[in-house]
Chain A
Amino acid sequence: QVQLVESGGGVVQPGTSLRLSCAASGFTLSNYGIHWVRQAPGKGLEWVSVISYSGINEFYTDSVKGRFTISRDNSRNMVYLQMNSLTVEDTATYYCAKDLQQLVPRPTLLLDHWGQGTLVTVSS
């Protein structure tokens, strides 16, 4: 079955960096776009980024543009989110999620399988 497992979260100080990982199994990762969505404690969902199945296209929400970078290594069945210049506003549980349709040039932006999330806490 489809499984996504996030890792790499933790407690970091403002201004520092962190790299999150998303390990995929149970499907052909290289055929699907993958998203990162975050949820601040007790708050709603916020879409962060998506990478197309080919890795050619990346998109970001404005608040992370220039600070976060999404990437993928299909040979390792992994997707990453490099987060730099972290601020307290980045504190959240970060989920990776699979796009609904495979092999489409633009992701459908429908997230049909999600991991359980990894908590990132930015605090001094």
Chain B
Amino acid sequence: EIVLTQSPATLSLSPGETATLSCRASQSVGIFLAWYQQKPGRAPRLLIYDASKRATGIPARFSGSGSGTDFTLTISSLEPEDFAVYYCQQRSNWPPVTFGGGTKVEIK
């Protein structure tokens, strides 16, 4: 099973700042890495897939990069609605599909 480790666990930032979230895989997942956003009491939302492709309707301030074992989600100029928990997910070697433990982006 591929383990995804996200860092940091919590990121405290102000609106307008840039968030940089990391996801590291225990073995290579190629580019088969996705990112989801989850707000309290809500279902997750697909943001990025195949490391860098934005899902339908996702604003351009969300961008993804990386390949192999190291991936980054960047949120440029944080909007108030961006404060949430972000999960990475791999689909390279399954079952099982695995998720990272999440990074909470909170308002500083």
**A44:B56 contact, CB within 8 angstroms:** no
Q: Is A55 an interface residue (CB 8 A)?
A: no
B91 partner, pick from A44, A97, A110, A112, beta carbons under 8 A? A110
B43 partner, pick from A35, A50, A61, A116, beta carbons under 8 A? A116
B81 to chain A, nearest CB (A): 17
Q: Is B107 an interface residue (CB 8 A)?
A: no
Per-residue CB contact flags for chain A residues 60-83 toward chain B (1 = under 8 Å, else 0) read 111000000000000000000000
**B43:A100 contact, CB within 8 angstroms:** no
A110 partner, pick from B38, B42, B49, B95, beta carbons under 8 A? B49
B96 partner, pick from A61, A108, A116, beta carbons under 8 A? A61
B6 to chain A, nearest CB (A): 9
Q: Is A32 an interface residue (CB 8 A)?
A: no
B97 partner, pick from A44, A47, A62, A112, beta carbons under 8 A? A47
The 3 closest A-B pairs by CB, nearest first: A114-B43, A109-B91, A47-B97
Q: Which residues of chain A have a CB within 8 Å of any CB of chain B?
A: 35, 37, 44-47, 50, 59-62, 95, 97, 100, 108-112, 114-117
Instruction: Offer 26 A-B interface pairs, CB within 8 angstroms, sorted by A.
Output: A37-B44, A44-B99, A44-B100, A44-B102, A45-B87, A46-B99, A47-B96, A47-B99, A61-B96, A62-B95, A95-B43, A95-B44, A97-B43, A100-B46, A108-B91, A109-B91, A110-B34, A110-B46, A110-B49, A110-B91, A112-B46, A112-B55, A114-B44, A114-B45, A116-B43, A117-B43
